Chains A and B, each alone.
Chain A
Amino acid sequence: MGAGHAHRLYRHGHSPVHRLPAHTKLAAAFAFVVVVVSTPREAMWAFALYAVLLAAVAAAARVPAGFLLKRLLIEVPFVAFAVLMPFVAEGERVHVLGLSLSVNGLWGAWNVLAKGTLGVAASVLLAATTELRELLLGLQRLKLPPLLVQIASFMIRYGDVITDEMRRMRIARESRGFEARGVRHWGVLAKSAGALFIRSYERGERVHLAMVSRGYAGSMPVIDEVTASRAQWSYALALPCAALVVCLLGWTL
């Protein structure tokens, strides 16, 4: 399910949400999802409120509903899984339209669908309003190990280059009349993958030389110091805080 990531999710804009520092948004999205996941599934109204909160964020970010809904499609494989749950789960059963469904399974399906959808929606909003490099800087500000952030930024930087190399190899294969149609052709495709690995690795070595030539000695110099004011933090954290209130109500009511 990792396929089809060629396009970018970012939507250019100048909304207040776009302008927030990336690390505040990351923290807010993460905290929001944690709160959602911790909410009891029986409090159905709470999930509706969460959806309203996200819709408010989307409106503030001027992300159109159609865009958001289309991005939610990534969830489809798990919807299929959730649909199966009422049939396979244990426990008390109810009969709806002649089907025997497990009550527990129905709750489980609802739980996964509601929380999963809210999680995906939060991630989509984050990605739609934050540029790639800001996300990386944000991760760094959130004290992710610098080496990991570096690896991630190299991956982002060279993802396109390598995907492009892969595309050129496919065109070269097809220009010579080759079309992969079945298992018999795996050998050829794997040779391409092998060649791609060698190219990637060798490029890694050359990139390292280029870095060393400009004074790299193991750590990236800090070029952009992003800081968030208290106002920005409170603005970003308004979302998870509101969600937390809903969650607590969900537990007590």
Chain B
Amino acid sequence: MTASLEVSGLAFAYPDGHQALFGVDFAIERGERVALLGPNGAGKTTLVLHLNGILGGGAGTVTVAGLPVGKRHMAEIRQKVGIVFQDPDDQLFMPTVREDVAFGPAAAGLKGAELEARVRTALERVGMAEFADRPPHHLSFGQRRRVAVATVLAMEPEILVLDEPSSNLDPASRRELADILRSLDVTVLMVTHDLPYALELCPRALILSDGVIAADGPTGELLSDDALMRAHRLELPFGFDPRSVTART
């Protein structure tokens, strides 16, 4: 079986000369939930934008379900890699929730009843079906985040990439989102600063630091390794002991 996502030797410099990635290697198997941790400026966002080919042109390859990311398969890649951006207001650009969720599948050519069914399923999976006809800006932040997840789920992606999914959420919305993510059976790559959230949701974690993968292993183990954590400017919240928590799967 091919991996959901395979990144090898990925290096990238921005046109202004600033190099953000220096040879990133990792693979994620189908159905895994993986956290991508790293300090600010480690290149996390740059990496994410490579996964669906928005950035490219450097060295190395990204392969999604056996398909190399590149101009030739762009439409297919963008369907397979669903990115949920940090600010749901950027992601929800259509006048109503329903249209927004329909945007991706409709761009891929879906129509009529099939499109309708796809939208409904996606909204039901995030518990937002009753808000279908509301404009996004009338929803709470947590609801918008969930709709943003639905917009990507509607495309039935191979892998779901979440950029800081727990940022700005109150504890209840944070838990609701965790429940939703746990209930999905898709491969998940979650980019986050929220280490307890990573531990709660992802059995495995990667640490991206200075443009390379500095560590790859079970989340609990990585978070318990004080020296590793300090070396990469990662800090647990006060009073939080990763050894006392067991990840739920």
- Interface residues of A, Cβ cutoff 8 Å to B: 132-133, 136, 153-154, 156-158, 160-161, 203, 206-207, 209-217, 220-224
Contacts and interface: CB of A to CB of B under 8 A. Distances in A.
Contacts of B94: 153, 157
Interface in B130-182: 135-137, 151-152, 155
Given A211-B93, A214-B152, A220-B103, 11 more contacts: A133-B95, A133-B96, A161-B137, A207-B93, A210-B93, A211-B103, A213-B54, A214-B78, A221-B106, A223-B102, A224-B99
A185 to B, nearest CB: 30
Nearest to B76: A215
A211 B89 CA distance: 12
Contacts of A158: 89, 93
Given A133-B95, A153-B95, A206 B78 contact: no
Interface in B77-129: 78-79, 81-83, 85, 87, 89-91, 93-96, 99, 102-104, 106-108, 115
Contacts of B82: 213-214
Contact of A212 (B78, B99, B115): B78
B75 interface: yes
Contacts of B106: 221-223
B204 to A, nearest CB: 24
Nearest to B86: A206
A222 B49 CA distance: 27
A154 B103 CA distance: 14
Contacts of B136: 157
A216 B91 CA distance: 13
B219 interface: no
B107 A215 contact: yes
23 contacts: A133-B96, A133-B135, A153-B95, A157-B136, A157-B137, A160-B137, A161-B89, A161-B137, A203-B89, A210-B93, A213-B78, A213-B81, A214-B78, A214-B103, A214-B107, A214-B152, A215-B75, A215-B78, A215-B79, A215-B107, A221-B102, A223-B103, A224-B99
Contact of B93 (A132, A133, A157, A215): A157
Interface of B: 49, 52, 54, 75, 78-79, 81-83, 85, 87, 89-91, 93-96, 99, 102-104, 106-108, 115, 135-137, 151-152, 155
Contacts of A209: 49, 54, 85, 90
B9 to A, nearest CB: 24
A161 B136 CA distance: 11
A212 B104 CA distance: 9
Contacts of A216: 103, 107
B142 to A, nearest CB: 17
B196 to A, nearest CB: 27
A212 B95 contact: no
- Tell me which of B79, B137, B152 has the highest count of chain A C-beta atoms within 10 A of its own C-beta: B137
B240 to A, nearest CB: 32
B90 A207 contact: yes
A136 to B, nearest CB: 7
A132 B137 CA distance: 14
Contacts of A157: 93-95, 135-137
Contacts of B93: 154, 157-158, 207, 210-211
A197 to B, nearest CB: 17
Nearest to B137: A160
A156 B152 CA distance: 23
A224 B133 CA distance: 12
Nearest to B136: A157
Contacts of B79: 215
A206 B87 contact: yes
Contact of B85 (A133, A153, A206, A215): A206
A136 B99 CA distance: 13
Contacts of B87: 206
Contacts of A221: 102-103, 106-107
A230 to B, nearest CB: 23
B52 A213 contact: yes
Nearest to B106: A221
A195 B115 CA distance: 40
A133 B132 CA distance: 14
A161 B115 CA distance: 28
Given A214-B151, A221-B106, A206 B83 contact: no
